[in-house]
Structures are given as structure tokens and as C-alpha cells.
A and B are shown apart, each in its own frame.
Chain A
Amino acid sequence: MTQVVPPILSVTPSRALVDEKFKVLVENLPPGCPVTVRSLHHSEDKDDWEAYGHYVSDHSGVVSVSEDLSYGGTYTGKEPMGLLWSMRPVPGSRPGLRLRKMNVCTPMLVTVSVHSGHEGFRDQAPLASVLTERWYMAPGIRRININEQGVQGTLFIPPGPGPFPGLLDMWGGGGGLLESRAALLASHGYVSLALDYLGFDQESENLEFKYFETAFNIIKDHPQVMPDRVGIFGLSLGSLVAVTLAAYSTIVKPCCIVCISCNHYYPARGSTVTSKFEGVTRQLSKARVNEDNQVIWKDVALEFITDPSNIAEVGRINCPTLLVNGCDDQNWPTVETAEDVARLMREAGKEHLLSRLAYPDTGHLIEPPFSPHFRATTFVMRSSKEKVILLWGGQTKPHSDAQEDSWRKILSFLQFHLYCSPNLKAKI
């Protein structure tokens, strides 16, 4: 029996950071051959995620995912990174899944394979497969558990002598300590502290504020950090912390802040961010549920923020601020929030400090590029432990484009404000 030589599949680079592009190439196929290129990832939560595109090889027997058009699958058209951002749980998976890497010291492993045909491609074994590694940490990055002065989190330090600019990084109300973005920021040259801040049940607003200020100073006082180049990066509830620190703190002066899916709801002065969040989520239990049983917080939350006494005084912010939000955010009225922040800063004469990025058909969870989009996922309510499915919003393709575009611009914003431009002093 003659053996058939398989096609040659390559993914270049085979090891990359999660925000780097790759080129997927299939060669040695017969010309005009229909094939499916598929990616498969087995997550830490033991779910399987996949993406695939249907292609036809050209006259030389080649399929180039970066150059050719996908005729169908989880993405269509010319999409070099479609095999990553269009990933979704394989059919038959439990609903409401979200892909998050908790252990950033190991890479995300993705198997890319090429299959014969389009319909029913899964029925046969793949013709070829390769494994690619997607890393959150560049080589040489140090990861340090922080548990000092009451602050808990994880610090990531780039290799090299430094000194480096610093970043305080906070995720949202989902809880748990997500290190992925801080690790990635460190890979771009920032000493980054992923801060664990929910559920500490601080006794008072003052004490909690102190917690954030202490965390900021841990970065600022680090021997490898430039003390006047420390910024704050927050998503969702984390952006509320960023905004309030920038507006109210007399102790910390962030060099710049990045707020993704900004939240400026700051009612009941005298209570902590955690308890405010609790309060909000309790009230949100009256939120609308759509026909897919997904909970939409946006409309109810919109009522909360219409009262000006419930809003953080963002006009007091004195540092460059970047707001990033999705126009299809169903979780928080971030479109209205961004407008409101712009208005308040304009009225305070601070408009020159504000930059805004708004993306159509994009949802609440704007993450680093090429990570899958989730329109709705399971969320555990902190106090009641009730499981609901929260609608975040966004359509996969525009949301993924937004992730890619915003990340590039966020890095550029951070580099501009935190890595000093060379001054032309004569002494060298």
C-alpha cells in the first residue's frame, strides 16, 4: 500500500506572546483542494475551544491563512488571526464559558490542524497538525507574589537593569486575581502589579482608599521603578478605582490612567468600592433579562448614573486619561459614562487631558487582542453566590477588531506618557 505524504503545515512563530501575530501556512496540497484549517485549545478549566476556516488551495497547492479568504467557519474573509479570536467552546460544551488563563507562567497551547474538505471535516483524522505556544510572559520576566502592608497581588518585573515605568492593574467585579494583562504589560517594559482588591471587606472607605494608595506606592517605591512614571490601568470596576484615585487621592499622583469600559458611579460617600459594588449588584437584581435568560445591567445602571451626586468628580483628574469603551456594551452604560466624563472634564478645563476610543458593535470585556470574544458568560454574584448569565455585548468580529486596535493604541499611549521622550540636554 502506497503511503501518502501529508501536507506541510507551519505556524510562524511557533512560540509568541499572546498579542503577537502569526502566519499559518499549508503547503504540499494538491491544487484546488478544499481544506479546513482548525485551531483547538484545551483550557485550564478543561473545556475545549475551537475555531476553523474553510479554504481552497491555490494552483501551487498552498493555503496561506494570512493572505487567503476563508469561505466559512467561525470566521470568514481574510483573517490572519481568525483562528484565535473566533474561538468558541466546541459544540456540546456547557454554556456561558469564558476563557481566562490563570497560570501565566505557562503558555496557552493551541493545536492548529488541517483537515480534508469543508462539511464534516471533523469526521476524519487531521492531515497534519502543529502545536503553537502563546505566552503572557516574555523570557526573563520575574513574577513576585506581593503580600505586604496588607496589599495582595502579583508583581511582574521586566528583565534588565531598569528603571522602568510602573502600572497598577485592576480587573473588574468578577473577582479572583487575573494576572494575564499585568504579565503582558511587563512584557512590554512596565513593572506591573495585578491587584487583588475585591472581597477584602475593608471596614471603611478611608481604609480601602488607603489600600489602593499603598498598592500604588509599593510600585512607586520599588527600586527598579521610576517614581514619577507610574500609571493606573483599570477595566470596568477597576476603572472606577483608577478614576477615583486620580480625582481624589492626595497621596498618589498617577502619571496617566487607562480606563476600559469606564465606570464612574460613586454614590454613598463613606462606603468602600467593594460595598458600593455589592449595593449596585443587589439593585441590579431587578435588571432586565432577555429571552436567552441573559441579564442586562446596562439599562438599570443608566438610571443610577443620571444623578450627579452619584458620580465621581472626574473634573478633578489632573493626568492624561484614556477611555476605551464598546458601543454595544450591555453590562454598563459606558457610552453614556464616557460622554459624561468628557463633559465634566471639559467643564473643568481638563479636556486636553482626555483621549477617547469608542468601538461599534463592541461589548464590555475589551481584553488584549486575539483572545476570544464572549457575548455572555456565567457570573457568580459575590454576596448571594447566585449564578447568572451576564450579557456583555458585542459581535465577535467587530469586538475582536476593537481589541486589536485598542491594544495597539493603549500601548502607544502608555509609551508616550510613561517612557520619557529624550530631552535635548547637552550633558550625556
Chain B
Amino acid sequence: MDRKQCCVKLSVQPSRGLMDEKFIVLVQNALPGSQLTIRALHQCEDGHSWEAFGHYTADTTGTINVSEDPSIRGTYSGVEQMGLLWSLRPIPGSKPGLRMRKKNIQTPMEVTISVYQGHQTEGFADLVPLSGVVVERWYMAPGVRRIPVTEGGLTAALFLPLGPGPFPGLLDLYGLGGELVEYRAALLASHGFASMAIDYLTSKFTIETGKMVDRQYFETAYRVLQQHPQVCKSRIAMIGLSFGTSITLKMAIYSEIIKLSAAVCISGTHVQPVDGSVEEILRFPYKNVGKTRFSEKDEVICRDLMLPIPTDPSLKADVGRLQCPLLLLVGEDDQNWPTQESALNIKEMMAQAGNSHLLTVLSYPNAGHLIEPPYTPHTRSSNFRPAGMPEKVMCLWGGQTVEHSRAQEDAWKKILVFLRENLYGDRNPTLFSHL
């Protein structure tokens, strides 16, 4: 047994963290100047393996600190504290078009981080690492409770922080993929918001009746959230991605019942038939299905279906009527929706209407459509089946990995600040007088 092999000490601090927390990966006791590879391996719920790695050189004390030292080459390069997570990609030989999304958010994502001798690029499964540790990444902080919601025909899950409350509320909507996507709501609850993830495309109601939900479904969700004894009735926001944005804007502007304190719209558009039902809004882009383009890898590019941005006001949500702060997130390389063009038009409309003080636009060069919580892998394209459609297509979302990952990190930080300011903020100083 090579004595030298036993020297290397690998540690990751913290070994258990939330998905949006940073960690420090430290290698100690290596031979000074030795070449080492640090690798992360994760097996996701559907059985696929994902890996990331960086090539390092130990310094004169035999140490490598991933948050301070550069990776020379690998799935990421340069000084990238969290590169071992955001640059994860399916191991060579995997099925194409994979996307990593955790379904069961009550268990942690387990990542094995190991250090290997030399600068390795492949065949890790056949190599014996010098050292390895297991790291847990959680979507739910301790004490956060998951409560399934079926009241009023809803298919939803409410995540409540621990404590007496009351907490500001959040309605969380994803896009056309449907199903109940819970991870962002769970993470937001870990930051102090009572967050309800809503399935509005494949809900029990839709499956049983074959009909799509409409405005009342979301108003019911709002009511259920408002009436919860631990939720602040007057501090409820909505966060939507992709088609979830269309719903968010529709509710924020046109619903008599839903009164939002703030809205976050990620990778969305305001282009929608103003008087249309949710179903009509959903079907609207398909009128232009002929404008679908294909990349040279045969990936579907949908962004032109809603271009050019209409001038007809009946085809755009009237953002000039918005009465709550709006945070708009744009990936400038979004190949799926015309997010950037929409954001520009929204800005113009609000400037004309005089409510542009409510608008904040965060625009990220080379970021794609799927702007998700940080440190999860960037998906440039994946196999996607919109709810209700018979087939999967390889959809191009866009984005370049490094910039997209930076965008996710920055966007998340700013989303949390925005939500905190608008939902926890002191809008009425006299409210605290009883303390």
C-alpha cells in the first residue's frame, strides 16, 4: 500500500447545507505541487449519474482551497467556489436531453466529493480516489413543514417555516411542464415565506374532468393561503417562471380577488389575449407554430412564436395598471420565449403609464430560459413534454453554462432581497409600536 496515498485529507464545510448555501472544499496534506483532480458525483432520483471535476495543483503547504485556488481545467475553470455543483453534467454515455430536478424535497441531494491523483478527465469509476466525503444539500431547512393542499379542488403543497408567524405568503408557479414542482417553494419557505407550490396543468381537477383550470383556481389558492392562521393576509406575493409568469401578470393586473404585494416574473412575457381564459392564453403561441425554428442539433426554438411583440393592446397584459412592485428576470440568450423583447416593451408601457417606479428588470447576458435556484446544473436543452401534449421534444432553452450559473446565483440573491423588502419591509412604521 502506497503510504503517500493515505495522506490526503478532504473536507467540505458545511457538510450539510441548504441548496443555496455556499461550501468550502478543502484538500490538505497533499504533496506540495502535486496535481490532483477534485470530482463531484451525484446520482439523481431517476438513476442518472452526474459529475463535475476540476484540475488543481496543491500549493507549497500541500493545500487546495476550492474557494481560493483556480481550477486549471475541467467542467469548470478558474476560481469557482461552487463549480463542483453548478457544472455537474450527465456522465459520458448518458441519454441526451436530461434535466436535474428533485421531486422528493424532504430528503437531501447527496453528492460525493472525491480527490484523485493526477489530472483525470474520464474513467473515474475505475480509479480509486485518495479521499472522499459525502455532502448533503437540502431544499428544506429544519423545522419547515410540508402540508399537502387539496381544499377547493387544488393540487398544491404549502411549505410553512417554523415559528409562530405570521409569515408573508407566496404563490409559486412553474411552466408548461406541469406537475407539482415543489423545490423552489420549499427553499423559499426556508427563507421565511409561507410558500405554496401549485400544480395548475395536471391537477386532480384537470385529470378527472379533462378541463383546464381558470382564474378561479388561482383565486382559490390565494384565498386558502390568506386564510391560513400563520399567513399575513396583506403580504402575499406571486412568483412565476415561463408560463407561470403569464398567470402571475394576469392575476396581478386583472383579478378582483388577488391583491399582490409583489410579483416576480422569471423568463416570461406579457403577451397574452387579455380577455382570454387560461387555456386560451396557453394556446395563443401555437397559432404561430409555423415560426418554430430548429438549431443545427435539431433542438426546437420557440421564441419566435410570440414575435414580434404585438402593438394591439388586447394582446398584451396591461402592465400600466400594475399596482405592486414587479421584478422581471431576463436571460438574454433565452431561446424558448422572447423574454428580452417582452421586458423592453413592458418597460415602455410602464413608463408611458407612469408606474415604472414599480419595475425592476434584471437582465443577464448569455443566460437561458431556465433561471433556477443557484448551484444546480444549467440545462441548455432537454427533452420536454408540455402538459397535455403527446410527445416529448428536444427543447432549446439557451444559455452558456458559466454565465447562466452566475446569473442564477445573482438572481436568487436579488429575488430574496426583493421579496424581503416588499413582504417583510416596514411599510407602516406604526405597526411595530406594540413591541
Chain A positions near chain B (C-beta within 8 angstroms): 2-6, 8-9, 12-17, 20, 28-30, 33, 109, 111, 113, 116, 125-133, 135, 138-140, 158-164, 187, 189, 226, 229, 415, 419-425, 428
Interface: B7 (CB within 8 A): yes
Beyond A131-B162, A226-B6, whether A4 also contacts B16 by CB under 8 A is no
Question: Interface 1/0s, chain B 95-133, versus A by CB < 8 A?
Answer: 000000000000010101010010000000000111111
Known: A5-B424, A163-B1, A422-B32. 11 other contacts (CB 8 A): A3-B235, A4-B432, A6-B163, A6-B165, A30-B435, A130-B163, A139-B133, A158-B133, A419-B6, A422-B30, A422-B62
Closest 4 A/B residue pairs (Cβ):
A140-B134, A131-B143, A160-B132, A15-B16
Collect the chain A residues with CB atoms within 8 Å of residue B423's CB. 5
Partner of A128, one of B6, B29, B132, B164: B164
- Pairwise interchain contact B424-A189, C-beta atoms closer than 8 A: no
- Pairwise interchain contact B21-A428, C-beta atoms closer than 8 A: no
Closest to A129 in B: B163
Collect the chain B residues with CB atoms within 8 Å of residue A17's CB. 15
- Pairwise interchain contact B420-A161, C-beta atoms closer than 8 A: no
- Pairwise interchain contact B17-A428, C-beta atoms closer than 8 A: no
- Pairwise interchain contact A161-B29, C-beta atoms closer than 8 A: no
Report how far A424 CA is from B168 CA in the complex, Å. Answer: 60
Partner of A28, one of B132, B134, B424: B424
Collect the chain B residues with CB atoms within 8 Å of residue A139's CB. 15-16, 108, 110, 133-136
Chain B's interface size range is: 35 or more
Beyond A5-B232, A189-B9, A422-B7, whether A15 also contacts B164 by CB under 8 A is no
Collect the chain A residues with CB atoms within 8 Å of residue B130's CB. 161
12 of the cross-chain contacts (CB-CB < 8 Å) are A5-B423, A5-B431, A8-B420, A8-B424, A13-B17, A16-B14, A129-B162, A130-B142, A160-B132, A419-B7, A419-B9, A419-B29
Collect the chain A residues with CB atoms within 8 Å of residue B138's CB. 15
Chain B positions near chain A (C-beta within 8 angstroms): 1, 3-4, 6-7, 9-11, 13-18, 21, 29-32, 34, 62, 108, 110, 112, 114, 117, 128-136, 138, 141-143, 161-168, 190, 192, 232-235, 420, 423-424, 426, 428, 431-432, 434-435
Report how far A158 CA is from B166 CA in the complex, Å. Answer: 42
Report how far A59 CA is from B29 CA in the complex, Å. Answer: 46
Beyond A3-B234, A160-B133, whether A133 also contacts B142 by CB under 8 A is yes
Collect the chain A residues with CB atoms within 8 Å of residue B132's CB. 159-161
Collect the chain B residues with CB atoms within 8 Å of residue A421's CB. 7, 29
Report how far A428 CA is from B4 CA in the complex, Å. Answer: 8
- Pairwise interchain contact A138-B133, C-beta atoms closer than 8 A: yes
- Pairwise interchain contact A420-B6, C-beta atoms closer than 8 A: yes
* Least Cβ–Cβ distance between A2 and chain B, in angstroms: 6
- Pairwise interchain contact B141-A14, C-beta atoms closer than 8 A: yes
Partner of A15, one of B30, B114, B142, B168: B142
- Pairwise interchain contact B18-A113, C-beta atoms closer than 8 A: no
Report how far A139 CA is from B431 CA in the complex, Å. Answer: 44
Report how far A158 CA is from B62 CA in the complex, Å. Answer: 22
Report how far A14 CA is from B144 CA in the complex, Å. Answer: 11
Closest to A14 in B: B141
Closest to B16 in A: A15
Collect the chain B residues with CB atoms within 8 Å of residue A111's CB. 143, 162
Partner of B431, one of A4, A133, A140, A423: A4
- Pairwise interchain contact A14-B18, C-beta atoms closer than 8 A: yes
Report how far A130 CA is from B34 CA in the complex, Å. Answer: 44
Closest to B111 in A: A139
Closest to A188 in B: B11
- Pairwise interchain contact B15-A138, C-beta atoms closer than 8 A: yes
